[in-house]
């Protein structure tokens, strides 16, 4: 019996619903494994369909199409290594999340996911049935147990596989990013290794899907929890890992140990990859955005240039009588530094026309927020017209602080198809701009060096909808606001806990009120990449009509 085993890991980026394209990626990975002399090639969870498929999987035609594609893939990859791939399956009209081992032209073994995640962005108990605890399968000369993603976060699944004779745990994943997620994964997998005294392979996919980005970072652990292989974060990689058997069992030969970026770089990479894949997977090639001369639009323009290339980004200034000369200069300078196109469409004429049209109905009233919001909504109308005419997707530019308290105009500056900074609080926007000015990476398509003018970073934020307006006229300073929001939204603290942390109760209650009354705006807002495990949308689901308030 051989004492060596080569496993090819395919850390790749599938597209939801593209069965033929995903199968082609699988065949290419299989061929590379075959050429490298591998006994098995492994792809991530639900790779054949892409992930997450949400309610698409409830359409029988979708799942049956996926099953047929798996059968065809088995035939295509009959003469060579075994191939492991994830997909949905119907068994006796019951739907499961499955991982199939294809070998010799047929399905040799099939594992059904046992633990179904039902928190945060996951809703699998609604979609799939719980599979039984299973045993390992043999790919000569090795017996492999496959806990599927969430299965490996629970002791019983891996323990059952080990007790049934598994000599290696292979964990295929569709695990999306949030800040600090890699360390969480690693700690759980080390626990499984130590509990069962078995080496473990953690294989994750990469790529963006709507709000989620799968960040890869696959790794191999030897007994005792020692890291043997660490694949890069975010990049598509096909890697060959060798295992050898000694008197104690199987051990992975140490290989590549890629350095993982820090949190700021990972967050920024997520925003870039999310937009890049959202565009590619929805069929858009170019974007436009309103360029105000402020820090949020400056950062979004930079993300867009890094994701798509400056030639595919149009920045548009839409000045009113309240727009400062500094803002026009800063917007132009930011576009120049990035190398993007910039156009100017003044809104004074359209605003006067709307004011005249409404004058008979507004007669006798005092100008207020209504008139300010007309400016924002006119900008939305003009930007959407450009989007429609030229086929460029409109990006919206509201940060998480603004999204949280509704400091944005619905059907105005909230108009757009995607928001790259939706889960980035304002203070982190400032820090991210400083980081990007100081750093450049090969995956960035924009230029190196300073791309966001320092004056944009330094000046007080303003919507410029009335004379001398500053954000702090309506909101507490952002360092205070963001801490309150982090506690109320991300940490789910009570009002009393936030006050105990040193904040004024009246201010906390005001922010709490703004969060709740802005729910209807978030319900209609553009999607954006998830950077935390408390992002607005699937991580945090609140009713729109809601009179409850925390009186603690």
User: In the annotation, is 45 catalytic?
Assistant: yes
CA distances (Å), origin 147, targets 172, 176, 205, 490: 7, 17, 16, 30
**CB contact set of 44 (below 8 Å; sequence gap of 6+):** 10, 11, 12, 14, 51, 86, 172, 173, 174, 203, 204, 205, 214
User: In the annotation, is 149 catalytic?
Assistant: yes
- The reply to whether 76 sits in an annotated binding site is no
Question: Taking the CB of residue 355, how many other CB atoms lie within 10 A of it?
Answer: 13
Instruction: State residue 145 phi and psi, 5-degree precision.
Output: -110, 140
- The reply to whether 146 sits in an annotated binding site is no
| Cα 438 from Cα 431, distance rounded (Å) | 11
- The reply to whether 108 sits in an annotated binding site is no
- The reply to whether 291 sits in an annotated binding site is yes
Angle CA 45–50–56, to nearest 5:
110
Burial of 204 (0-12, 13-18, 19+ CB in 10 A): buried
| Cα 543 from Cα 532, distance rounded (Å) | 21
- The reply to whether 226 sits in an annotated binding site is no
Q: Of the residues 45, 115, 333, 392, which is catalytic?
A: 45
Pairing of strands 137-139, 168-173: unpaired
- The reply to whether 339 sits in an annotated binding site is no
**CB contact set of 184 (below 8 Å; sequence gap of 6+):** none
Q: Where do runs of H (alpha helix) occur along 5-102?
A: 19-35, 60-76
User: In the annotation, is 113 catalytic?
Assistant: yes
- The reply to whether 521 sits in an annotated binding site is yes
In the structure encoding, which two tokens stand for residue 268, read together? Answer: 């920024």
- The reply to whether 293 sits in an annotated binding site is yes
Q: Of the residues 25, 77, 115, 149, which is catalytic?
A: 149
Angle CA 268–270–272, to nearest 5:
70
| Cα 370 from Cα 111, distance rounded (Å) | 58
- The reply to whether 397 sits in an annotated binding site is yes
| 505-517 vs 478-485: helix crossing angle, rounded to 10 | 70
Q: Which helix (H) or strand (E) holds 515?
A: helix 505-517
Partner residues linked to 101 by β-bridges: 84, 109
Using DSSP's 3-state secondary structure scheme, residue 318 falls into coil
- The reply to whether 292 sits in an annotated binding site is yes
- The reply to whether 180 sits in an annotated binding site is no
Q: Of the residues 25, 77, 113, 433, which is catalytic?
A: 113
Using DSSP's 3-state secondary structure scheme, residue 384 falls into helix
In the structure encoding, which two tokens stand for residue 65, read together? Answer: 């199409």
Distance between alpha carbon 247 and the CA centroid of its chain, in Å?
43
DSSP assignment of 407-427 equals: -S-TTTTT-SSB-TTTT--HH
Distance between alpha carbon 350 and the CA centroid of its chain, in Å?
38
- The reply to whether 181 sits in an annotated binding site is yes
> Which residue ranges are tagged as binding site for ATP?
290-297, 397
Q: Enumerate the active-site residues.
A: 45, 113, 149
Query: Annotated binding site for deamido-NAD(+): which residue ranges?
Result: 373, 402, 521
Q: Which residues are annotated as a binding site for L-glutamine?
A: 175, 181
């Amino acid at each position: 019996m051989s004492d060596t085993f080569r496993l090819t890991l395919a850390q790749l980026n599938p597209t939801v619903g593209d069965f033929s394209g995903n199968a082609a990626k699988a065949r290419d990975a299989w061929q590379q494994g075959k050429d490298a002399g591998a006994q098995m090639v492994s792809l991530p969870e639900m790779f054949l369909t892409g992930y997450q498929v949400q309610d698409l999987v409830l359409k029988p035609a979708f799942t049956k199409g996926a099953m047929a594609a798996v059968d065809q893939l088995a035939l295509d990859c009959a003469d060579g290594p075994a191939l492991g791939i994830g997909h949905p399956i119907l068994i006796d009209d019951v739907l499961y999340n499955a991982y199939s081992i294809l070998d010799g032209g047929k399905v040799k073994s099939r594992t059904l996911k046992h633990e179904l995640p039902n928190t945060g962005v996951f809703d699998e108990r609604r979609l799939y049935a719980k599979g039984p605890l299973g045993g390992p399968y043999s790919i000569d000369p090795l017996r492999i147990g496959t806990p599927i993603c969430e299965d490996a976060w629970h002791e019983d699944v891996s323990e059952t596989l080990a007790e049934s004779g598994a000599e290696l745990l292979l964990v295929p994943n569709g695990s999306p990013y949030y800040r600090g997620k890699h360390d969480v994964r690693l700690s759980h997998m080390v626990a499984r290794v130590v509990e069962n005294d078995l080496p473990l392979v953690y294989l994750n996919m990469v790529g963006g899907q709507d709000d989620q980005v799968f960040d890869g970072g696959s790794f191999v652990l030897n007994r005792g929890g020692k890291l043997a292989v660490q694949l890069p974060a975010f990049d598509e990689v096909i890697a060959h890992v060798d295992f050898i058997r000694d008197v104690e069992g199987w051990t992975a030969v140490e290989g590549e140990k890629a350095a993982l970026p820090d949190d700021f770089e990972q967050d920024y990479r997520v925003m870039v990859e999310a937009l890049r894949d959202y565009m590619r997977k929805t069929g858009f090639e170019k974007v436009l955005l309103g360029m105000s001369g402020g820090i949020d639009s400056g950062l979004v323009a930079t993300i867009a240039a890094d994701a798509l290339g400056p030639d595919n980004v149009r920045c548009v200034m839409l000045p009113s009588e309240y727009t400062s000369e500094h803002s026009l200069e800063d917007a132009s300078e930011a576009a120049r530094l990035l190398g993007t196109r910039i156009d100017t469409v003044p809104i004074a004429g359209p605003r006067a026309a709307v004011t005249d049209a409404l004058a008979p109905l507004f007669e006798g009233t005092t100008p207020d927020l209504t008139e300010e919001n007309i400016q924002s909504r006119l900008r939305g109308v003009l930007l959407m017209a450009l989007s429609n005419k030229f086929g460029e997707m409109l990006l919206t530019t509201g940060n998480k602080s603004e999204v949280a308290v509704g400091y944005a105009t619905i059907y105005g500056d909230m108009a757009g198809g995607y928001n790259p900074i939706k889960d980035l609080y304002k203070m982190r926007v400032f820090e991210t701009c400083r980081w990007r000015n100081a750093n450049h990476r090969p995956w960035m398509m924009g230029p190196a060096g300073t791309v966001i003018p320092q004056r944009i970073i330094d000046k007080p934020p303003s919507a410029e909808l009335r004379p001398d307006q500053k954000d702090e006229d309506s909101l507490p300073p952002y360092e205070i606001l963001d801490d309150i929001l982090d506690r109320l939204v991300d940490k789910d603290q009570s009002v009393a806990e936030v006050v105990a942390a040193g904040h004024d109760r009246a201010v906390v209650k005001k922010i709490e009120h703004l969060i709740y009354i802005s729910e209807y705006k978030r319900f209609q807002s553009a999607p954006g990449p998830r950077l935390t495990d408390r992002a607005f949308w699937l991580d945090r689901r609140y009713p729109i009509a809601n009179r409850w308030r925390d009186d603690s």
